[in-house]
Amino acid sequence: MGSLRTPTNLSNKSCLCVSGRVVKGLRVERQVGLGFSWLLKGRRNRKVQSLCVTSSVSDGSSIAENKKVSEGLLLGPERDGSGSVVGFQLIPHSVAGDATMVESHDIVANDRDDLREDAEEMEETPIKLTFNIIFVTAEAAPYSKTGGLGDVCGSLPMALAARGHRVMVVSPRYLNGGPSDEKYANAVDLDVRATVHCFGDAQEVAFYHEYRAGVDWVFVDHSSYRRPGTPYGDIYGAFGDNQQFRFTLLSHAACEAPLVLPLGGFTYGEKCLFLANDWHASLVPLLLAAKYRPYGVYKDARSIVAIHNIAHQGVEPAATYNNLGLPPQWYGALEWIFPTWARAHALDTGETVNVLKGAISVADRILTVSQGYSWEITTPEGGYGLHELLSSRQSVLNGITNGIDVNDWNPSTDEHIASHYSINDLSGKAQCKTDLQKELGLPIRPDCPLIGFIGRLDYQKGVDIILSAIPELLQKDVQFVMLGSGEKQYEDWMRHTENLFKDKFRAWVGFNVPVSHRITAGCDILLMPSRFEPCGLNQLYAMRYGTIPVVHSTGGLRDTVKDFNPYAQEGKGEGTGWTFSPLTSEKLLDTLKLAIGTYTEHKSSWEGLMKRGMGRDYSWENAAIQYEQVFTWAFMDPPYVR
């Protein structure tokens, strides 16, 4: 279990007074947790004044009487808008550890029976574990985002914080000299500098901090993060020092942050759970095992590597290993040799270092963003060379489907769409369709099925399959709209197809958030023929908006879209859309024909599809509960020690 240390200025003789109702003599773990409102349930007639918390010494003895009890109380901080601690809350806890003693002062109760009832209630109350969670990520929305990674690391931390965990997100402070720099306007310099050793030299980093939505957002500041472009590159391509400096620096800084940053008055301490996201942060589990634990630091910490897309692994030439700041004897953990057919020339030995491979080898748990993807990466087709390693660690490999921001993506409140609607009143969706047809310059035809595609224009998203299927598909009575950018050949094809089918096809080259909302709300069908999709979000948005997904049966798409069966439930039907496999234009066309036929000929079945999709729970709250289970498993076994 993760824990939060009490302020360092709380000495053995110090006393912290907080309001609360306690049972005298109970032991208090040196941790924080949730509120204690349950303790006062049904006890409104009591007067509550104060209690004194006296910390124990490190060897387990205490200035106060050391009473052994099975339950205790936890201290949890209340913060103001700036993140400063202004008070503490109490909850029960039973996990043994470095304890403090509690002695009550001026507790006024009606009778001793009330105290006995409180003790009985605490015994019956289920214990909720809370953790110190450190997200390490190259992106975190709204500060930085290029794709799903930014969405996950911008939303999941807030959902976990809302459930009582102490959460820090460590990400670079990207400054490109443009308007996006304003996103960091509320982050203040903590005036803490850390020196980390990598690339044969000492590198100094600074930390900026914003406390928002219950989360400590920490931004690592260094000159390598201050340059024009995106987080990964500029108009000339990817930055050459992405792996071999910028993200090595991020991993080192993230390991230092819980030890040196006095957030809310005290540090996170060593008993943390690090969640390293994708290859950018994969050095973190290796640093914990190779740099810190041999010296007794982070001996109780755990690490989880979260794989959002295994196609990107952080592979660099073997000669660059010395840049990473790891001991020489750890080279084997990262060693990666390409097969002969994949080498550049006859003299190429294929020797490289692979940081994601190293993280998978030593992390306490491995997570992917859907159950289907967690299986696919153990296969030769989906593992990108790491399938055997992942198969060997399958006992600690899990998949959890991403959630979505149900406030941002809500058809009953969405500010970007023409008319609001809900599962109980679908009338507004027809107006959204009419408005979209009008905006796109398509004929306004309520009964004509409108199909949409939103995504990158590249091979992974199956755009080539759409290209080959469009000529036959547009012979039918349908309309089609595509929104996206990517490879120039597909962008040019979209423009050309629009000229050929002026009344049926529209191309929006580029990406526009309000337009993506209007397409999601206005279309009847959303097409996603991705070759592989670790999770996918657009199909989740579509179902929430009553738009029926037609998807390739892969990864998270297969997990989240349930095939329509009109004969189930005594003829009432089940399912939320259609999946198809194999990924061919013929199979795509056959499935779309089935969907179009259902839309035009079976309106009641179509409405059932819409409502079942809109009724699904894909909130981050649901995902956070599943993450908590994996966190608990991570602490059941000892951490990796070489």
* Torsions phi, psi for 562 (to 5 deg): -100, 130
Q: Is 77's pLDDT higher than 60?
A: no
pTM: 0.77
Judge whether 404 and 380 are in contact, CB under 8 Å.
Answer: no
Judge whether 164 and 146 are in contact, CB under 8 Å.
Answer: no
Q: Is 253's pLDDT higher than 50?
A: yes
97 vs 543: CA distance, rounded Å: 46
CA-wise closest residue to 18 among 114, 91, 68: 91
Number of Cβ within a 10 Å radius of residue 26: 22
CA-wise closest residue to 1 among 525, 631, 439: 631
Domain 426-616, classified CATH 3.90.228.20, yes or no: no
Fold of the domain spanning 132-313+355-403+629-636? Rossmann fold (3.40.50)
Binned at pLDDT 50, 70 and 90, residue 341 comes out as confident
Q: Is 484's pLDDT higher than 60?
A: yes
Give the chain's mean pLDDT: 84
Binned at pLDDT 50, 70 and 90, residue 116 comes out as low
What is the pLDDT at residue 521?
Answer: 98
What is the pLDDT at residue 124?
Answer: 56
Same fold across 132-313+355-403+629-636 and 426-616:
yes
Can you name the residues that pair with 194 across neighbouring β-strands?
205
* Residue percentage of the chain with pLDDT more than 90: 69
Q: Is 65's pLDDT higher than 70?
A: no
Q: Is 114's pLDDT higher than 70?
A: no
Q: Is 141's pLDDT higher than 70?
A: yes
26 vs 118: CA distance, rounded Å: 12
Can you name the residues that pair with 599 across neighbouring β-strands?
none
Binned at pLDDT 50, 70 and 90, residue 74 comes out as very low
The per-residue pLDDT for range 303-339, each reduced to its tens digit, is 999 999 999 999 999 999 999 999 999 999 999 998 8
Instruction: For the chain, give every domain's residue range.
Output: 132-313+355-403+629-636, 426-616
621 vs 615: CA distance, rounded Å: 15
Using DSSP, state whether 634 is helix, strand or coil.
helix
Number of Cβ within a 10 Å radius of residue 450: 23
Token digits of residue 272: 């943390």
Residue type at 18? V
What mean pLDDT do residues 473-492 have?
95
What is the pLDDT at residue 234?
Answer: 83
What is the pLDDT at residue 243?
Answer: 62
The per-residue pLDDT for range 206-245, each reduced to its tens digit, is 999 999 999 999 999 999 999 998 888 888 888 887 667 9
CA-wise closest residue to 20 among 104, 123, 117: 104
